[in-house]
């Protein structure tokens, strides 16, 4: 295997599955005709055919086959595009996975704007919202390959229904092999005192860029990356908001219901401060480049920096 | 009569058992004040056949790894399953009258988390056959020789997910999977052929690659023969279409759309339903 950060996220997903299968033969890779898109065909399908099953284009069946496998002690990772892995099979996940407490790991690939050229029908901006509204469901979004691998290792060892977003292409390195993952724990990327910036998954790299811009402008950013959207690190969010007095959130999701909402729920009860939620303002996706969508919905790195500046200025 | 006294099949004794179960199911639902009675009463002989003549189980060890698995995807018929499990000794008889009571272990829809002997939680229609496929696939991959049984409803068969599972099961050659359709010809809004017709149901399952058997779902020999034949099938899953009568044994609801769910607000309603049972000379076991 080449250096992890030189690989596509999906390749690391597949290779990590291979490692997990080799450590525990109960781990299974379940796909619904998007195994090539998820990176598991041929990486997993050829190396561990007995731990691989492709159910065809039948996501509802995939989730419940996963639930049946889980009742028999298997640890299925069921992957498909995030739009299908969440909204299309919401009832199957609710009843056969979360309510029944079956140990199924649901992997929503190509989340948010990373869906790219498939456009509005496939661009899912609500998976974090709807999955976190489900009892007994953990919701994760890793930012890079190292965190992905740490997260999957954690997931495979726990009996916990879980939804994880998976970016597919190669992304820039944020962490290294020393990164650990704990549900309900945020990762502080930079320590600061003027404004809190909270992000998750793919958007954390842009939050970091914005933080660097702001640092050059003399604004000190407390940057929290939340790979675990549910459970959320309430303690870290509250402590940071108390310190800085204002918060910006960033996600590649509808601003209704996702990370920003989770932060607002916590802060409105424990530490009411001004919060600006950045993401997609209650609109559908479309076929467009990342920069076009950042400009249109105003949640690219420059907009993040601007929003932070505005909140800092409002405090004065 | 308790389960443990039945050691071998005897028609008269099984008929008595079926009468008793129907009476107990009706009593439980009436005590609860409402419930899905029709589809529970239609499955009495299917459950008695499974638990006394087909399933490899150990009631003292509900999670015995080598047991046959049973899923009832039409989870709302749970009272018949609970009665079968109590009679087989999975839990005390005095749990039965707690159906749907506050903090009960016997909720209206079958729940694996609370009920010993229930292998999968169900209630949202159309999901159980897929779960059964997952369990059967796990057995295949583990080279285990237990079987997986899954009961689905006829109205439930409207759900498209059943047909996803049907394709999957035959593609994966899950000959350790035996499904049963409770074909009582009624669903909530009326007769199945008026709401969303299923026929030719046998042809549909055959076209999806299943071996299909038809049985009189209230005839002991017919059901037993179907299970025997299904158990011998190699290389594909089996479907037993059990022709049944919804609400069987309770004359005021038998074969009527109203049998799906009854309301029992007072003693008069209780007397009406319990008095309409085909055999009222029954002693409740709790």
CB contact (8 A) between residue B138 and residue A68: yes
CB contact (8 A) between residue A68 and residue B134: yes
Nearest CA of chain A to the CA of B103: how many Å? 16
Is the minimum CB–CB distance between B64 and chain A shorter than 8 Å? no
Dist. CA B226–CA B54, nearest whole Å: 11
Residues A15 and A151 in one domain: yes
Residues A149 and A194 in one domain: no
Residues A193 and A237 in one domain: yes
Q: Which of B130, B133, B144, B173 to mutate to test the interface with A (most CBs of A within 10 A)?
A: B130
β-pairing verdict for A138-140 and A228-230: antiparallel
Residues A8 and A138 in one domain: yes
Residues A267 and A121 in one domain: no
For chain B, list the strands marked E by DSSP. Answer: 34-35, 69-72, 148-153, 177-183, 186-187, 190-191, 211-216, 238-243, 262-263
Dist. CA A10–CA A264, nearest whole Å: 32
Residues A126 and A161 in one domain: yes
Residue A64 has its nearest CB partner, among B123, B127, B139, at B127
Q: How many CB pairs under 8 A join A and B?
A: 101
CB contact (8 A) between residue A69 and residue B134: yes
Q: Which of A68, A71, A73, A84 to mutate to test the interface with B (most CBs of B within 10 A)?
A: A68
Q: Which of A24, A28, A61 to mutate to test the interface with B (most CBs of B within 10 A)?
A: A61
**For chain B, what are the domain ranges?**
11-275
Residue A142 resides in a domain = yes
The token pair that represents A99 in the structure block: 């309510």
Query: Which residue segment(s) compose the domain that A295 sits in?
Result: 187-315
B273 CB neighbour count, 10 Å cutoff: 20
pLDDT given for residue A116 in this prediction: 87
Among A122, A137, A166, give the residue marking a domain's end: A166
pLDDT given for residue A316 in this prediction: 79
pLDDT given for residue A134 in this prediction: 98
Residues A135 and A195 in one domain: no
For A133, phi then psi, to 5°, come to: -80, 5
Residues A199 and A146 in one domain: no
Query: In whole numbers, what is the pLDDT of chain A averaged over residues?
Result: 97
Range B11-275 has CATH code 3.40.50.970: yes
CB contact (8 A) between residue A65 and residue B134: yes
Residues A17 and A153 in one domain: yes
Among A115, A137, A166, give the residue marking a domain's end: A166
For residue B272, the surrounding DSSP H or E stretch is: helix B267-275
Number of structural domains chain A divides into = 2
DSSP state of B218: T
Q: What are the chain A neighbours of B142 within 8 Å (beta carbons)?
A: 72
Nearest CA of chain A to the CA of B36: how many Å? 20
Residue A91: closest CA among chain B residues belongs to which residue?
B124
pLDDT given for residue A257 in this prediction: 98
Question: What confidence tens digit (pLDDT) does each residue in A195-229 have?
Answer: 999 999 999 999 999 999 999 999 999 999 999 99
Nearest CA of chain B to the CA of A100: how many Å? 6
What's the Cα-to-Cα distance from B236 to each of A53, A66, A103, B35, B152, rounded to whole Å?
A: 17, 20, 28, 36, 18
B228 contact partners, CB below 8 Å, separation of at least 6: none
Residue A182 resides in a domain = no
Map residue A224 onto helix, strand or coil: strand
Question: What confidence tens digit (pLDDT) does each residue in A14-73 have?
Answer: 999 999 999 999 999 999 999 999 999 999 999 999 999 999 999 999 999 999 999 999
CATH number of the CATH domain containing A211: 3.40.50.920
Dist. CA B109–CA B114, nearest whole Å: 11
Residues A101 and A15 in one domain: yes
Residue A179 resides in a domain = no
CATH number of the CATH domain containing A153: 3.40.50.970
Cβ atoms of B155 and B192 within 8 Å: the answer is: yes
pLDDT given for residue B215 in this prediction: 98
Is the minimum CB–CB distance between A70 and chain B shorter than 8 Å? yes
β-pairing verdict for B186-187 and B190-191: antiparallel
Residues A158 and A191 in one domain: no
Cβ atoms of A112 and A123 within 8 Å: the answer is: yes
Is the minimum CB–CB distance between B134 and chain A shorter than 8 Å? yes
Question: What confidence tens digit (pLDDT) does each residue in A156-184 have?
Answer: 999 999 999 999 999 999 999 999 999 99
Is the minimum CB–CB distance between A3 and chain B shorter than 8 Å? no
pLDDT given for residue B2 in this prediction: 45
Residues A208 and A87 in one domain: no
In which region does residue A219 sit, left (phi positive, over 0), alpha (psi from -120 to 50) or beta (all else)?
A: beta
pLDDT given for residue B8 in this prediction: 82
Residue B65: closest CA among chain A residues belongs to which residue?
A72
């Amino acid at each position: 295997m080449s250096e992890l950060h030189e690989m596509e996220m999906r390749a690391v997903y597949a290779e990590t599955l291979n490692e997990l299968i080799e450590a525990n033969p109960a781990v299974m890779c379940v796909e619904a005709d998007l195994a090539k898109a998820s990176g598991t065909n041929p990486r997993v399908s050829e190396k561990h055919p007995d731990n691989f099953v492709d159910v065809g284009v039948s996501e509802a069946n995939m989730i419940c086959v996963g639930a049946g496998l889980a009742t028999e002690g298997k640890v299925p990772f069921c992957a498909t595009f995030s739009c299908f892995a969440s909204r299309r099979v919401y009832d199957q996940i609710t009843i056969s996975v979360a309510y029944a407490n079956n140990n199924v790991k649901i992997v929503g690939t190509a989340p948010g704007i990373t869906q790219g050229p498939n456009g509005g029908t496939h661009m899912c901006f609500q998976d974090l919202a709807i999955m976190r509204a489900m009892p007994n469901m953990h919701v994760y979004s890793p930012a890079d390959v190292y965190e992905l691998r740490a997260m999957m290792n954690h997931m495979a060892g726990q009996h916990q229904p879980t939804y994880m977003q998976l970016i597919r292409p190669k992304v820039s390195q944020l962490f290294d092999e020393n990164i650990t993952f704990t549900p309900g724990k945020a990762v502080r990327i930079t320590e600061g005192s003027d404004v809190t910036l909270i992000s998750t998954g793919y958007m954390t790299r842009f939050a970091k860029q914005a933080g660097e811009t702001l640092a050059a402008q003399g604004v000190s950013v407390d940057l929290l990356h939340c790979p675990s959207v549910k459970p959320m690190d309430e303690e870290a969010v509250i402590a940071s908001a108390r310190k800085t007095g204002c918060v910006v959130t960033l996600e590649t999701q509808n601003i209704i219901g996702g990370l920003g909402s989770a932060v607002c729920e916590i802060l409105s009860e424990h530490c009411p401060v001004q919060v600006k939620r950045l993401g997609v303002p209650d609109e559908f996706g479309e076929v467009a480049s990342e920069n076009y969508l950042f400009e249109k919905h105003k949640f690219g790195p420059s907009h993040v920096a601007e929003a932070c500046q505005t909140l800092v200025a409002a405090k004065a | 009569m308790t389960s443990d006294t039945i050691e071998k099949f005897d028609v008269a004794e099984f008929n008595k058992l079926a009468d008793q179960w129907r009476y107990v199911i009706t009593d439980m639902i009436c005590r609860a004040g409402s419930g899905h009675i029709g589809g529970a009463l239609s499955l009495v002989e299917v459950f008695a056949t499974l638990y006394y003549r087909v399933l490899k189980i150990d009631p003292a060890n509900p999670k015995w790894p080598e047991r046959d698995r049973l899923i009832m995807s039409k989870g709302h018929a749970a009272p018949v399953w609970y009665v079968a499990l109590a009679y087989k000794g999975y839990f005390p008889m005095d749990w039965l009258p707690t159906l749907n009571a506050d903090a009960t272990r016997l909720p209206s829809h079958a729940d694996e988390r609370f009920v010993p002997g229930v292998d999968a939680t169900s209630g949202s229609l159309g999901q159980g056959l897929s779960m059964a496929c997952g369990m059967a696939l796990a057995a295949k991959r583990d080279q285990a020789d237990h079987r997986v049984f899954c009961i689905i409803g006829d109205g439930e068969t409207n759900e498209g997910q059943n047909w996803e599972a049907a394709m999957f099961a035959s593609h994966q050659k899950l000959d350790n999977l035996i499904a049963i359709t409770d074909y009582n010809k009624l669903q909530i809004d009326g007769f199945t052929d008026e709401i969303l017709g299923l026929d030719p149901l046998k042809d549909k399952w055959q076209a999806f690659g299943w071996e299909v058997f038809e049985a009189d779902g209230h005839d002991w020999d017919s059901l037993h023969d179907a299970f025997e034949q299904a158990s011998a099938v190699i290389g594909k899953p089996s479907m037993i279409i059990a022709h049944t009568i919804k609400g069987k044994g309770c004359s005021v609801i038998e074969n009527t759309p109203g049998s799906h769910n009854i309301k029992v607000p007072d003693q008069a309603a209780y007397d009406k339903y319990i008095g309409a049972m085909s055999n009222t000379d029954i002693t409740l076991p709790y």
